Amino acid sequence: MGSDVTVEVNRPREIPREISGYEKPLFSLLDEAARLYPDQTCTLFKGSRQSYREVKRCTEQVVAFLRSQGIRKGDRVAVFLPNLPHFPAIFFGIIKAGAICVTCNPLYTASELGYQLKDSGARAVFCMDHSEFYPVAVKAIQGTEVRTVVVCNIRSSLPKIKGLLGSLLGKIPKARAHEPGHFFFDQAVGLMSPDTSPADIDPAGDPALIIYTGGTTGTPKGAVLTHSNLVFHVQAVDEWARLPHDSRSEPEKLRPGGYHCYLGVLPWYHIFGLSVCMLSACASGSRLVCIPDPRAGKPPFSDVLKAVEHSRPTLLVAVPTIFSAFVNHPRLDRYDLSSIMLCVSGGAPLPRELCKRFEDKTGSLIIEGYGLSETSPVVTVNPTNRQQRRLGSVGYALPNTVIKIVDQKTGQTELEQGEDGEIAVHGPQVMPGYWNRPEADAESFREIEGQRFFLTGDIGHKDPDGYVVITDRKKDVILVSGFNCYPREVEEVLYQHPKVALAAVVGVPSEKSGQEVKAFVQPVKGEKCTEQELLEFCKERLAGYKRPRSIEFRDELPVSAVGKVLRRMLRDEEVKGHG
| SS3 assignment, position 404 | strand
As a whole number of angstroms, the longest Cα–Cα distance in the chain is 71
Report the percent of the chain where pLDDT is more than 70. 96
Task: List 343's β-bridge partners, or say none.
Answer: 316, 366
Helix intervals (H) in 480-577: 487-495, 531-539, 567-577
- Whether cis (ω within 30° of 0) applies to the bond prior to 82 is no
Backbone angles phi and psi of 42, in degrees to 5: -100, -65
| Rounded Cα–Cα distance for residues 166 and 189 (Å) | 23
| Rounded Cα–Cα distance for residues 543 and 546 (Å) | 5
Task: List 39's β-bridge partners, or say none.
Answer: none
| Rounded Cα–Cα distance for residues 26 and 365 (Å) | 29
| Rounded Cα–Cα distance for residues 379 and 454 (Å) | 11
Q: In CATH terms, are 52-200 and 477-577 the same topology?
A: no
**What pLDDT was estimated at residue 12?**
95
Average pLDDT in the chain: 92
Integer Rg of the chain from CA: 23
| Rounded Cα–Cα distance for residues 212 and 208 (Å) | 13
**What pLDDT was estimated at residue 482?**
65
**What pLDDT was estimated at residue 349?**
79
Whole-prediction pTM value?
0.86
Backbone angles phi and psi of 520, in degrees to 5: -115, 130
Task: Sketch the domain layout of the chain as residue ranges.
Answer: 52-200, 477-577
Alpha carbon of residue 448 to chain centroid:
29
CATH T-level assignment (fold) for domain 52-200: Rossmann fold (3.40.50)
Eight-state DSSP code of residue 464: T
Q: First-to-last CA distance in the chain? A: 50
Contact yes or no for 196/60 (Cβ under 8 A): yes
DSSP-assigned letters across all residues of 317-373: EE-HHHHHHHHT-TTGGGS--TT--EEEE-SS---HHHHHHHHHHH--EEEEEEE-G
List Cβ neighbours of 247 (8 Å cut-off, separation of 6 or more): none
- Cα 151 to Cα 64, 175, 187, 351, 427: the distances in Å are 17, 10, 10, 40, 38
**Closest by alpha carbon to 342, among 318, 376, 309?**
318
Give percent helix, percent strand, percent coil of the chain, each to the nearest 5.
Answer: 30, 25, 45
Contact yes or no for 524/540 (Cβ under 8 A): no
Mode of pairing for the β-strands spanning 252-253 and 242-243: antiparallel
Tell me the CATH number for domain 477-577: 3.30.300.30
| Rounded Cα–Cα distance for residues 128 and 150 (Å) | 8
Q: Where is 508: in which H helix or E strand?
A: strand 500-510
| Rounded Cα–Cα distance for residues 510 and 497 (Å) | 27
Kindly give the interhelix angle for 320-327 and 352-362, rounded to the nearest 10 degrees.
50
What residue type is assigned to position 279 of the chain? L
pLDDT tens, residue order, the chain (579 aa): 445 667 899 999 999 999 999 999 999 999 999 999 999 999 999 999 999 999 999 999 999 999 999 999 999 999 999 999 999 999 999 999 999 999 998 988 898 899 999 999 999 999 999 999 999 999 999 999 999 999 999 988 888 766 655 554 567 888 888 999 999 999 999 999 999 999 999 999 999 999 998 643 457 899 999 999 999 999 999 999 999 998 788 999 999 999 999 999 999 999 999 999 999 999 999 999 999 999 999 999 999 999 999 999 999 999 888 998 999 999 999 999 999 999 999 987 788 899 999 999 999 999 999 999 999 999 999 999 999 999 999 999 999 999 999 999 999 999 999 999 999 999 999 999 999 999 999 999 999 999 999 999 999 999 999 999 998 777 787 878 767 788 888 998 999 999 999 999 999 888 777 789 999 999 999 999 999 999 999 998 888 889 999 999 999 999 887 778 888 889 888 877 765
